[in-house]
Structure 1
Amino acid sequence: MSTTLSILAGLLALGALAMTPSVQKQLLYFPNEPSRALRATPADAGLAYEEARITTSDGETLHAWYIPADTARGVVLMFHGNAGNIGDRVGFARLFHDLGLDTLLVDYRGYGQSTGTPSEAGTYRDAEAAWRYLVETRQLPPARILLHGRSLGGAVAAYLATTVSAAGLVLDSTFTSVPDIAEALYPWLPTQWFVRIRYPTLERLRTLDTPVLVLHARGDEIVPYAHGQRLAEAAAGATLVTLDGSHNTSSEDSAAIYREAMQTFADRVLPASAMQPAAQARRR
């Protein structure tokens, strides 16, 4: 594409962003990529699990999997990125299980088998509902819950961290805000004025006293490494771990580093003793 066409494409993209909130949502949320079908379940990774249906405060029903670990000392509440669904995140559940952590994988509204249509406010309600499920339905202590968010999920997890008392917050390949991403793409345009979807992760971290781990690939081509650096600087006492690979491959390309970082962080923020065992999960 020529420089002229690139500029034109940028202007058209900005014009779309400026139109309506619904257009912006189409540019950010990709629940149908590649489809809403679940390509795998925890059973495909040899994990027992429970199906869960979680009701949000505005009446949507979220599909989730609860995946227990033997004598777990804590649970990871994971929020995924803006494409795909929980069927694409089974590998993370395997990692957390091997670290002695239960996992709750949950799909946002409009993703996978969840009802509704995604939005910024909606994803926040989804996060709150998932937290209530762990604390009220499963009666797990907040001090045993780690919030983990990847890419867009990091922004959702950061919001939740400002409203609850979690053990810790893990931000994997997360942006400082949606307007900052737009500004990086089109620095010559006043994108901060037009972008309606905010997800102000950086702003939220500045007032957060929850322990924070930031994982970010230096070669991230979608969310530049500088975003991870700024997030780590904004959160008091945060740890920044640099990964290899790209935005979508860093957890695999740096599997050993990722695992060690998660292990060290869990050792730091979670009590060594096991949680009360949850009800026996059924292998599906």
Structure 2
Amino acid sequence: MKITEQNCFYPDAHVYFDPQNHGYPRKDLWVGDRIHCWHVLPRSAIEQQVTIVHLHGNAENMTSHITGSLFLLDMGYALLAFDYSGYGKSKGSPSLKGIQQDAREVFQYVFDHAELFGSVIFGFGQSMGAYTLARILPEFPLLKGAILEAGLSSFYDLFTEVYPFMECSVPHEGFSTLDTLPKSTVPKLFIHGTSDAVVPYSHSIKMHTIAADPKELVILDGVGHIDALLSHHADTYRNKIRDFILKNS
């Protein structure tokens, strides 16, 4: 059995959660007529407009992952969530090159439409989303900060580490965050749990070590994969992210 690029992606089109059914105003947006986005507003906004672009992980779609970002709305920040090609309503099919291009187009759209999103923009990537954000980070120096949670240095590194006995044909050359993180001076907050059974927390340590300053690393003891909000570290997790946003806004 061989691990291929398609083993990186597990999309579906099911609607798991809709924030507008829970009091958060949202609008459907399309980037380039192919990338489906939700622009979600807080129930009560802060004085300074801050928009956080959320990049989700490799399974399901944005409607399941957005539940882990509601705390940002409750802090008064706006959220732009989107689906990669082949996820949710977005057209096409996913690839490692393609998800980076999707994210690239979304961030460019956000910066081109300050009347909708303001000028204080952060990226928040989780798992594959953190990988994707780290890969394109040098291209967006105007980002106020990048929150990189439970990220992987590359899919090749992850698969060959977790499944060393299997052949792996996932692209590696030109697909590692270790190539891009040293080239970006955007402030970075790395977060990872020590009990992550999906992506070992050594990946965030490695990425933090090689990344250019300014940077910060938060290791949460006993926390699983993107599970901080369900743990006894929930307050620490929220506070670290809020403080990072306030410091860099």
Instruction: Find out whether 1:247 has 2:225 as its counterpart.
Output: yes
SS of the residue corresponding to residue 176 of structure 1 reads: coil
Give matches, 1:76-87, under 5 Å.
76-87=52-63
Are residues 37 and 233 of structure 1, via their aligned partners in 2, closer, same or farther at CA, if it must alter by over 3 Å?
A: same
Q: CA RMSD in A?
A: 2.1
Whether the 8 Å CA contact 1:45–1:90 is kept in 2: the answer is: no
Runs of 4+ in 1 over 6 A off after TM superposition: none
Alpha-carbon offset, residue 203 of structure 1 = 2.1
Whether the 8 Å CA contact 1:143–1:167 is kept in 2: the answer is: no
Whether the 8 Å CA contact 1:51–1:66 is kept in 2: the answer is: yes
Give matches, 1:1-284, under 5 Å.
12=1, 16-17=2-3, 24-32=4-12, 36-55=13-32, 61-69=34-42, 70-71=45-46, 72-139=48-115, 144-165=120-141, 166-187=143-164, 194-196=169-171, 199-235=175-211, 236-243=213-220, 244-253=222-231, 254-270=233-249
Q: Distance in 2 between matches of 1:52 and 1:140?
A: 11
Which residue in 2 is equivalent to 1:3?
none
Whether the 8 Å CA contact 1:54–1:61 is kept in 2: the answer is: yes
Whether the 8 Å CA contact 1:120–1:197 is kept in 2: the answer is: no
Unpaired stretches in structure 2, ≥5 consecutive residues:
none
Whether the 8 Å CA contact 1:42–1:49 is kept in 2: the answer is: yes
SS of the residue corresponding to residue 183 of structure 2 reads: coil
* Seq. identity, %: 25
Alpha-carbon offset, residue 41 of structure 1 = 0.8
Q: Distance in 2 between matches of 1:261 and 1:209?
A: 20
Unpaired stretches in structure 1, ≥5 consecutive residues:
1-11, 18-23, 271-284
Whether the 8 Å CA contact 1:47–1:94 is kept in 2: the answer is: no
- For 2:144, the aligned partner's letter is A
Whether the 8 Å CA contact 1:50–1:65 is kept in 2: the answer is: yes
TM-score by structure 2 length?
A: 0.89
Q: Answer 1 or 2: which has greater strand percent.
A: 2
Q: Which of 1 and 2 has greater Rg? A: 1
Between 1:74-83 and 1:244-253, the stretch displaced more is 244-253
How many residues are matched? 241
Alpha-carbon offset, residue 128 of structure 1 = 1.6
Alpha-carbon offset, residue 197 of structure 1 = 5.3
- For 1:176, the aligned partner's letter is S
- For 1:246, the aligned partner's letter is G
Are residues 188 and 110 of structure 1, via their aligned partners in 2, closer, same or farther at CA, if it must alter by over 3 Å?
A: closer
Are residues 263 and 229 of structure 1, via their aligned partners in 2, closer, same or farther at CA, if it must alter by over 3 Å?
A: same
Alpha-carbon offset, residue 188 of structure 1 = 6.1
Q: Distance in 2 between matches of 1:180 and 1:142?
A: 37
